[in-house]
């Protein structure tokens, strides 16, 4: 557990109840009492940071092709689900600040665009959250991106993001002067958890949509979870809704 972290992050903005990585999702997360959201940020061809997960448009929009080869004009004319537009990073940041949500900004560079994406996203994160009561958390699977974030915006906390935690995770954390370790819940070992606890590194796990698994992870000492199932979990308790209503 870590005192400065909410227990739950709405994954990809609003989980599976709203189109992923949209402003509607962030509104929904806030309305359901979530205090933290995670979303993915990538650059358009024009260098504008936008919320989207995939390098290609097909899965989450009615567009086709590569995000990094699409202009702003093309991207902002698309339907990202239920009539939602792909949001600009600036819009998501403003909404998080309005609601006082902790934003986990995942730097999600298209392959080969790691450095430029991190430069832009990290510097804008520092600008958008300047003086904020609830400071954001930057994370990325790209260690190169996190190294840029460390240099561009050292004051913004960083989380190192892994699928499976490698043996050299502590060296990564030290090199990147990172605050937290984020990993795939099913790949987290007790040995890693014990080492993280000893080093004072909070562990955040994605993506947990099953109540029994959430209970187990909190019991094992995980600090926070990313979930798509905003309807299942009570944001500020470790319990899931059916347990809470029982008690």
If one counts every other C-beta atom within 10 angstroms of the C-beta of residue 124, the result is 18
* Cβ proximity to ligand G3P, 12 vs 85, nearer residue: 12
Q: How many residues make contact with ligand G3P (CB under 6 A)?
A: 10
Q: What angle do CA 56, 59, 64 make, to 5 degrees?
A: 50
- Binding flag, residue 139, ligand G3P (CB under 6 A): yes
The two structure tokens encoding residue 38: 């995670």
Q: Which one of residues 89, 226, 233, 240 is an interface residue with ligand G3P (CB under 6 A)?
A: 226
Paired with 123 in beta bridges are none
Catalytic one of 53, 113, 130, 182: 53
**Per-residue contact flags (x/-) with ligand G3P for residues 16 to 45, judged by CB under 6 A:** ----------------------x-x-----
Catalytic (active site) residue 53: yes
Q: Which one of residues 24, 34, 36, 106 is an interface residue with Mg ion (CB under 5 A)?
A: 106
Q: What angle do CA 243, 218, 213 make, to 5 degrees?
A: 65
- Binding flag, residue 228, Mg ion (CB under 5 A): no
- Binding flag, residue 182, ligand G3P (CB under 6 A): yes
- Binding flag, residue 40, Mg ion (CB under 5 A): yes
- Binding flag, residue 206, ligand G3P (CB under 6 A): yes
Least distance between Mg ion and beta carbon 12 (Å): 6
Q: In 3D, which of 244, 242, 232 has the Cα closest to residue 34?
A: 232
Least distance between ligand G3P and beta carbon 160 (Å): 11
Q: In 3D, which of 200, 139, 137 has the Cα closest to residue 170?
A: 200
β-bridge pairing 224-227 and 137-140: unpaired
Question: According to DSSP H, which parts of the chain are helical?
Answer: 23-31, 72-75, 89-99, 114-128, 143-152, 169-176, 190-199, 211-220, 241-246
With CB under 5 to 8 Å by kind, the binding choice for 206 among Mg ion, ligand G3P, none is ligand G3P
- Binding flag, residue 114, ligand G3P (CB under 6 A): no
Contacts of 150 (CB under 8 A, 6+ apart): 158, 176, 177
Query: Which residues have a catalytic role annotated?
Result: 11, 53
Binding site for ligand G3P (CB under 6 A): 11, 38, 40, 53, 106, 139, 161, 182, 206, 226
């Amino acid at each position: 557990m870590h005192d400065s972290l909410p227990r739950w992050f709405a994954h990809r903005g609003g989980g599976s109840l709203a189109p992923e990585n949209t402003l509607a999702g962030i509104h929904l997360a806030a309305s359901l009492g979530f205090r933290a959201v995670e979303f993915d940020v990538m650059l358009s061809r024009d260098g504008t940071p936008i919320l989207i997960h995939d390098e290609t448009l097909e899965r989450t929009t009615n567009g086709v092709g590569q995000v990094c080869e699409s202009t702003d004009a093309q991207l902002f004319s698309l339907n990202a689900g239920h009539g939602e537009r792909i949001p600009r990073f600036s819009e998501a940041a403003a909404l998080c600040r309005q609601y006082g949500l902790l934003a986990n900004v995942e730097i999600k560079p298209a392959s080969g665009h790691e450095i430029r994406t991190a430069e832009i996203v990290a510097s804008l994160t520092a600008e958008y959250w300047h003086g904020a009561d609830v400071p954001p958390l930057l994370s990325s699977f790209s260690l190169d991106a996190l190294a840029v974030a460390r240099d561009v915006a050292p004051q913004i906390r960083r989380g190192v993001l892994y699928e499976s935690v490698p043996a050299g995770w502590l060296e990564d954390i030290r090199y990147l002067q990172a605050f937290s370790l984020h990993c795939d819940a099913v790949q987290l070992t007790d040995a890693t958890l014990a080492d993280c606890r000893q080093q004072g590194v909070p562990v955040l796990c994605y993506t947990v949509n099953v109540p029994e698994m959430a209970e187990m992870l909190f019991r094992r000492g995980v600090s926070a979870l990313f979930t798509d199932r905003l309807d299942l979990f009570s944001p500020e308790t470790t319990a899931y809704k059916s347990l809470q209503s029982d008690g």
